[in-house]
Amino acid sequence: MPGAAPVARIAGGDLETCDSSVESLVLSDRGIGGTGVAPALADRGIGGTGIEPGDGLGGTGLNPGGIGGTGLTTRSLTHGHAGAAQGTGIIGVLGGLPDLCVDGLRIALDRPASISVDGEARTTETARPGQVASIEASGPAENLQAVRIELRHEVSGPITAVAPAGGSVDVMGQHVLLSARTRLAAELRVGGWVAVSGLRDAGGTIHASRVDAREPGSAVLAGIPRLVDGAWQVRGVPLALPPGVSPSGQRAVVRGTYADGTLRVTTFAEEPLARADGRLRRLVVQGFATVADGKVGIGGGLQADVGPDFGEAPPPDLPVILELDSSPGSLVAVSWHEAPAAGGHAAPPLGPSSWLHKLPIQPVQLAATPTLGATTTTKIGAARR
């Protein structure tokens, strides 16, 4: 295929195609760097083969749908495989480019992939380190290929408070902790609009991995709607819901106009972090975990059974990566390990059941947080060696 970049592979822990100093990457659903590869989910089939969207990509059964906008597919992953689940779902902080480096894994971009941001489809979008990515990938662990990519924010809207010491802000009333690892690309002032990428802990606080300036407009908030004194709220923010909308208790992404402390909702989409429908055979999820009564939960809304080889419970204040096996009606947490700093690599998962612990993993050197406004953009079609 003329102009296509070589396939990136993990070999001996060598992460030469993951670079935390690359500050942005232009993603496109039209293929790689203008090579003319058709979109992965185009309605006219794949690359002239005649494969239609309902048939999936190359017989893998990957096709549109997605687990509530997380990027994890909900349909036809078993197509052509006699019921065997296919694919890997990966959710975590984006740590390097020009491949997607998330949760200590590298996901190659050598094939077309569909793109969305907070549940809204995009034809192009710019990915940046520190953003939280939810990815569906095909292929074995050592050669993962992105099929669906979603960039997601826990909150996107006006700053409502700034701590005097500068260590935290509130965005639409959501408490956001900043640290030396937070990639800051915004002026933090009350009334300024920002998009916050990060992970929630069990108490609902967002540990920001990236904060980007944005124009005022439609506000976005992710969380589980709760009925409090007869009124719906998400994370303490009252919702003015459209007629006929009745939340079911699943994690949702709500979008609308934020004024006087209330979000007047124009778009309401229930988007669970992961669904136990057995259509993906494994999940790798980054977050703050709590373990109780044989269950492990992630602050963003995921809950799973604790597997026999899970080991000791992780500290609740430590960001970790959970590996989960998925089957119909069941999510089982197989193992966990400490999350890598700023998206780099950490120790392999604990437990003999892990499929990741066999991969050779080495630390990567992380670049310092860049100065505001100093960015370098890499397109997918750039040469990679």
Instruction: Grade residue 30 by pLDDT with cuts at 50, 70 and 90.
Output: low
d(CA 323, CA 327): 14
pLDDT in tens, 331-357: 899 999 998 765 444 333 434 344 443
> Could you give the CA distance from residue 129 to residue 94 in angstroms, rounded to a whole number?
5
What is the pLDDT at residue 19? 67
Instruction: Kindly state the average pLDDT of the residues 240-262.
Output: 92
> Strand 144-152 relative to strand 105-108: parallel, antiparallel, unpaired?
parallel
CA of residue 255 relative to chain centroid, distance: 18
pLDDT surpasses 50 at 93? yes
Distance CA 230, CA 238 (A): 11
CA distance 152 to 318: 21
100 vs 166: CA distance, rounded Å: 31
CB 170 within 8 A of CB 160: yes
β-strands 319-327, 330-338 pairing: antiparallel
Pairing type for strands 193-200 and 206-213 reads: antiparallel
Q: pLDDT tens digits for 287-299?
A: 999 999 999 998 8
How do the domains of the chain map onto residue ranges?
Answer: 218-271
Using CA atoms, how far apart are residues 239 and 162, in angstroms rounded to an integer?
23
Rounded-to-integer distance, Cα 127 and Cα 152, Å: 11
Task: State the pLDDT confidence band at 29, using cuts at 50, 70 and 90.
Answer: low
pLDDT above 60 (res 64)? no
Look at residues 267, 6, 209, 203 and name the one whose alpha carbon lies nearest to residue 195. Answer: 209
Amino acid occupying residue 342: A
- Joined together, the tokens standing for residue 324 give 């989960």
- The residue that leads in pLDDT, 224 or 359, is 224
d(CA 90, CA 113) in angstroms, rounded, equals: 14
Mean pLDDT of 209-237: 95
Structure-model confidence comparison of residues 91 and 10, the more confident one: 91
Q: What is the mean pLDDT of residues 310-324?
A: 94
Confidence band, pLDDT 50/70/90 cuts, at residue 119: confident
pLDDT band at 284, cuts 50/70/90?
A: very high
